[in-house]
Structure 1
Amino acid sequence: MVKKLLHPQEIQVWYIIPALRKELTLEMKKLGLDQKTIAKIIGVTEAAVSQYIKEKRANEVQFDEKTKEEIKKSAQLISQNGKLLFQEMQHLLGKALESKVICKFCLSRNDLPESCDICFKNEPKEDLSGQCSCNSDRHFCQKRDAAI
């Protein structure tokens, strides 16, 4: 049987994003939000929220403690302002890449060398002024953490 090659972006879509939704759901539940509200905020069905809570969905990915802390902060921000969902998901996807959870998952599913660093070859680099060379007006740094 031939193993299907999964691109890192497919891993993000099929595994990482659902795992982040699950962790956000669990954190929002701890904050006292009900399932209907959580479903509306994160854009999934109430059934999906129920499955996240009952550990019946998105169990393949395990985040490290540092990423879990970021998820907790993001859940607080998103629960206060649902419009921050996409911004915080992008932040959390960056943290998942930074922590190499995507790499571990990718290496376990694909026939790649352990030294693979494909996802890090074209990262924007910061110059000495602290400005990122990608010229984005939104970065996840001290400003975000200060808002919490």
Structure 2
Amino acid sequence: MEKLPCETIVWDSLPAIRAAIAAEMVRCGLSQKMVAQILNMAPSAVSQYLSGKRGYRIVFSDEVTDAIADLARDLVSKTVCDPRERICRICVMIRGGDSMCSACEPPEPVS
């Protein structure tokens, strides 16, 4: 049986996105400890993302790479405090616009 989209997201896409965001934030000059605080994860997780021990290595398109870099810069500059919506949009980009997640869908119009 083929994996459910959410399984692929949890095991492949999200770890890769989080690793790329963490790496970009460190490149922007933040410490691993500060990155961990901002992303609400353990410092050891950031360390493992940066060392390649955690998070799958996915080759992102230029569009996804740019979106990740923009999000990381916005987190560093504190113009974004909650990255969930942007991470969700990046995930949809990785899947080629195939959103099976209700959180990523626009709300239904109210009659």
**How does the TM-score come out when normalised to structure 2?**
0.79
Structure 1: gaps (5+ residues): 100-118, 122-131, 136-148
Q: Which runs of 5+ in 2 are unaligned?
A: 101-105
Tell me the residue number matched to 1:68: 65
User: Tell me, what secondary structure is at the counterpart of 1:61?
Assistant: coil
Query: RMSD of the alignment, in Å?
Result: 2.4
Partner Cα distance (2:99, 2:86) in 1: 21
- Which residue does 2:103 correspond to in 1? none
Alpha-carbon distance between aligned partners in 2 of 1:120 and 1:15, rounded to the nearest angstrom: 16
Q: Distance in 2 between matches of 1:7 and 1:52?
A: 24
Aligned counterpart, 1:32: 29
Displacement, 1:38? 0.5
Q: Secondary structure at the match of 1:14?
A: helix
Moved over 6 A (4+): none
Count of residue correspondences = 104
User: What is the CA deviation profile of residues 18-39 of structure 1, one whole-angstrom value per residue up to 9, with x for unaligned ones?
Assistant: 1100000110011101001111
Select between 80-89 and 61-70 the one with higher mean Cα deviation: 80-89
| Contact 1:19-1:58 at 8 Å conserved across structures | yes
- Rg larger for: 1
Q: 1:95 is matched with which residue?
A: 93
Deviates more, 1:54-63 or 1:8-17: 54-63
Change (3 A) 1:133 1:57: closer
Alpha-carbon contact 1:35-1:46 (below 8 Å) kept: yes
Change (3 A) 1:13 1:120: closer
Q: 2:94 is paired with a residue of what secondary structure?
A: helix
Q: Percent identity?
A: 24
